[in-house]
């Protein structure tokens, strides 16, 4: 036995085994960071798909309440925030923060060719304008063409690594958010009353 351990050809194998244990630790350190970034990124993409689906549903529910006239007289001026809270936020599913939701409802002027896409192209939705406006909801009158737009600001992990995936939040300086957007156009049904001048 003593003779075998003294053979010079066996010494490199022992040294190699010790080095291999260090190699495994080094490989894990190099692969762990990309792996965790991939897992967290996958979770965030899934969350963003969920937010987009919930926001689209909320926009359609809110648009229907405007279209049939149930929101008339309750979504202007100081009542706008309460209207968003009562008519739009419940449709988000209860898992999203309503304070990160920004909604705009406006009529499409008759001079715009009465076309949603033409109007959207000429008047793109501005997140900065919607987050700073105190009165961006006007439910219009009967048979008026309307456009409802909504933004939702989600916290982002990928935004720190991929700047094109996010943008700087207009409501909290410096932090980056992922912005989800949904819009729908519709024509108000026949109902009495309604808002004019919007």
Tens of pLDDT, residues 141-173: 888 888 899 999 998 877 777 777 788 888 777
Q: Are 111 and 71 in contact (CB under 8 A)?
A: no
pTM: 0.77
> pLDDT of 19-73, one tens digit each?
566 787 788 888 888 888 889 889 998 999 999 999 999 999 999 988 888 876 6
Q: Are 108 and 185 in contact (CB under 8 A)?
A: yes
140 dihedral zone (left: phi>0; alpha: psi -120 to 50; beta):
left
Round to whole Å and give the CA distance between 149 and 133. 14
| Long-range CB contacts for residues 170-173, cutoff 8 Å, separation at least 24 | 170/127, 170/128, 170/131, 170/132, 171/131
Handedness of CA 51, 57, 61, 67 (dihedral sign): positive
Q: Where are the domains of the chain?
A: 12-187
List the one residue out of 120, 150, 131, 137 whose CA is nearest residue 56: 150
Residue 106 scores a pLDDT above 70: yes
Q: Is residue 181 exposed (0-12), middle (13-18) or buried (19+ Cβ within 10 Å)?
A: middle
> pLDDT of 123-139, one tens digit each?
777 777 777 665 578 88
Residue 75 scores a pLDDT above 70: no
Query: What is the mean predicted confidence (pLDDT) over 179-193?
Result: 87
């Amino acid at each position: 036995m003593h003779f075998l351990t003294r053979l010079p050809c066996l010494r490199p194998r022992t040294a190699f085994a010790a080095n291999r244990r260090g190699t495994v630790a080094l490989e894990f350190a190099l692969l762990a960071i990309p792996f965790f970034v991939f897992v967290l990124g996958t979770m965030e993409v899934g969350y963003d798909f969920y937010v987009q689906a919930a926001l689209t549903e909320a926009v359609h529910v809110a648009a229907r309440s405007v279209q049939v006239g149930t929101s008339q007289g309750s979504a202007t001026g100081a009542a706008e925030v309460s209207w968003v809270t009562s008519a739009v936020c419940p449709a988000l599913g209860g898992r999203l923060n309503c304070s990160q939701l920004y909604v705009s409802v406006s009529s499409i002027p008759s001079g715009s060719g009465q076309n949603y896409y033409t109007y959207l192209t000429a008047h793109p939705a501005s997140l900065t304008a919607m987050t700073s406006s105190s009165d961006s909801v006007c439910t219009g009158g009967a048979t008026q063409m309307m456009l409802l737009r909504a933004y939702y600001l989600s916290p982002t992990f990928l935004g720190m690594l991929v700047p094109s995936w996010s943008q700087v939040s207009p409501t909290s300086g410096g932090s980056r958010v992922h912005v989800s957007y949904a819009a729908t156009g519709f024509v108000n049904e026949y109902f009495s009353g309604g808002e004019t001048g919007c």
